[in-house]
Amino acid sequence: MPTISEISTRYIDEVADLDPVRGERWGVASDPTRLTDYSPAGYAAFRALLQRTLDALAAAESPRDEAERLGIGFLADWIGGEAGVLDAGERERGLSIITGPPAVTRSVFDLMDHATPEAWEKIAARLRAAPAAMDGYRATLEAGLAKGRPAARRQAIAVAEQCATWAGNGDDGGWFGGFVAGAAAVGADDALRAELAAAARDAGNAYGRLASWLRDEYAPRATEIDASGDERYQTWARYLLGTDLDLDEAYAWGWEELARLEAEKAKECARILPGASFLEVRKLLITDPARSVEGVDAYRDWLQSVTDEAIEGLDGREFDIHPSIRRCDVRIPPEGSAAAAYYTPPSEDLVRPGQTWFPTVGRTRFPKWDEVSTVYHEAVPGHHLQGATIRLVPLTRAQKLGFVSAHGEGWALYAERLMDELGWFRTPDTRLGFLCAHAFRAARVVVDIGLHTGRAIPAAGVALFPDWSGQAGRPWTYDGAIDFMIRAGGMERDKAESEVLRYLSWPSQATAYKLGERTWLAGREAAKAAAAAAAADGRVFDLKTWHARALALGPLGLRRLGAELARI
């Protein structure tokens, strides 16, 4: 009878074999010349793996230690949630500019070794696999159409535009052609460079064909309905949040949290430009050259300096950061990527460092006011500290490498709040940026639930924005959601549109941030209360110790996380 640890380790190996793109993102040993099979047969094979693993967990030995006790609950929830998404046919309408197969396939090349001619030989082989991967993905979307599961037309057009951007003009390989030009810098010979150029053209043409098919054939058969509805929404929530949501409660709480944050924003605006509205203050912050960084290279360097300062300032004081994870590199992804910053964790062996990615979206000047909070979210004490630390603590292999959106994004949002509590937002500009980041995430809760489930805009919510008075009682619209995100989060329109597109392609994920943070905060308050109750016995709440114990739990869904945080 296998142990839970053995099942966990085997699962990771088998996933990396079936899904090499996911394996590369995890940084585990896998075949670097292959890409994932996104065809109906590929998804069927993956679903069979999920079922074998669930059956093995049901028959496994009892947990032998704390790592296995946590690990069996995590793995059962994680793969059970993914099985639910597959069974609901969600992959058959999987069009997304951030999580769809075209986006994750292109991004896998960012993570590969580029340092030697031998590494570029593997890249050439993987590029040659791109046409089959995109053809398999198209077959899955066609199967969805045949079963009456169309994606929204809006998503089809967005992904088509993304693929066309990366495809280029068909002769130079587009993004792929520019990417392989880097082989010359490491001494690739003429034969290898020619092979890479041909593979890049084939990959670019595959993306171009997919773009044309999505635009010309899929989009006319897609649905004009963006919303998922309650049932599909809950299926995604069980996977991404690890719980069943009370949608009415979450929707009402999101409005309350947004009201709290809007009041805080007003106070900070008064410190920057007394008597001005938020939109007037925002205009100053994004147009004042003295408050910006000029040039992409200077922007990346500034982000790296903020990252490094946080690591240096928190290590040994608020956290003990192991030397092996003190490095977190800032990168700039290519044009065509979604507008939101993101993080990729270190490889399993920690040889590849953690990396944060900040899209430029064609800009060359970058206001700083709202980016400091994002650095803390993506790097330290946010995703990098959490994700890299989990690599080092005694957990099952699947839990070390796995990710639950509400656990990880909730911690990252909690990390921003922690930096505010510690006084790291040293100017009114950057503190307003922090408050906007949180208002943006609270607005995400109401926009995501409202758009997907048809809940109306309440009068109490409209009161936050006086010129929205006519919206009370009305349903959410796509354009209205974009306008709302600009007002609440202070972002520019292109970013707001990218965000709303993301929500509509990924039901419930946008709620993971604030609802996850709420669980982390509740756990901290429970620990403080327990320490206060035990004060007579000499017990004192120590935040640094609590953080270490909380991070050592590894990823868990919200239902399990809340219970575990109350125990430590």
What string of pLDDT tens digits covers the 568 residues of the chain? Answer: 899 999 999 999 999 999 999 999 999 988 999 999 999 999 999 999 999 999 999 999 999 999 999 999 999 999 999 999 999 999 999 999 999 999 999 999 999 999 999 999 999 999 999 999 999 999 999 999 999 999 999 999 999 999 999 999 877 789 999 999 999 999 999 999 999 999 999 999 999 999 999 999 999 999 999 999 999 999 999 999 999 999 999 999 999 999 999 999 999 999 999 999 998 999 999 999 999 999 999 999 999 999 999 999 999 999 999 999 999 999 999 877 767 899 999 999 999 999 999 999 889 999 999 999 999 999 999 999 999 999 999 999 999 999 999 999 999 999 999 999 999 999 999 999 999 999 999 999 999 999 999 999 998 887 888 777 778 889 999 999 998 888 887 788 888 888 898 889 999 999 999 999 999 999 999 999 988 887 766 678 899 999 999 999 999 999 999 999 988 8
Residue 554 within a domain: no
- Which of 478, 493, 511 is the last residue before a domain boundary? 511
Looking at the structure, do residues 157 and 300 belong to the same domain, yes or no?
no
Residue 393 within a domain: yes
Could you give the strand order of the β-sheet that contains 342-344, starting from the edge strand earlier in sequence? Answer: 328-331, 354-357, 342-344
Structure tokens at 213: 């098919």
Residue 31 within a domain: yes
DSSP, collapsed to helix, strand or coil, labels residue 294 as: strand
Looking at the structure, do residues 365 and 390 belong to the same domain, yes or no?
yes
Residue 381 within a domain: yes
**How many structural domains comprise the chain?**
2
Looking at the structure, do residues 200 and 241 belong to the same domain, yes or no?
no
Residue 555 within a domain: no
Looking at the structure, do residues 446 and 367 belong to the same domain, yes or no?
yes
311 neighbors 347 (Cβ within 8 angstroms): no
CA distance 531 to 123: 54
Looking at the structure, do residues 210 and 289 belong to the same domain, yes or no?
no
pTM of the model: 0.94
Whole-number pLDDT of residue 463:
83
Looking at the structure, do residues 295 and 403 belong to the same domain, yes or no?
yes
253 neighbors 519 (Cβ within 8 angstroms): no
Looking at the structure, do residues 211 and 243 belong to the same domain, yes or no?
no
- Which of 473, 490, 511 is the last residue before a domain boundary? 511
Q: What is the rounded (10 degree) CA torsion for 374, 376, 380, 381?
A: -130
Closest Cα partner for 402 from 11, 2, 4? 11
- Which of 206, 226, 246 is the last residue before a domain boundary? 226
Whole-number pLDDT of residue 466:
74
Residue 202 within a domain: yes
CA distance 133 to 139: 10
Residue 531 within a domain: no
Closest Cα partner for 19 from 147, 136, 166? 136
CA distance 20 to 36: 5
* Cα separations in angstroms, 15 against 21, 226, 235, 351: 10, 31, 22, 21
Whole-number pLDDT of residue 536:
66
Looking at the structure, do residues 34 and 115 belong to the same domain, yes or no?
yes
Residue 552 within a domain: no
Looking at the structure, do residues 218 and 282 belong to the same domain, yes or no?
no
Looking at the structure, do residues 486 and 442 belong to the same domain, yes or no?
yes
Q: Which domain holds residue 163?
A: 4-226
Looking at the structure, do residues 245 and 218 belong to the same domain, yes or no?
no
Looking at the structure, do residues 59 and 207 belong to the same domain, yes or no?
yes
Count of CB atoms within 10 A of residue 358's CB?
21
CA distance 63 to 382: 30
Element (H, E) at 293: strand 292-294
102 neighbors 137 (Cβ within 8 angstroms): yes
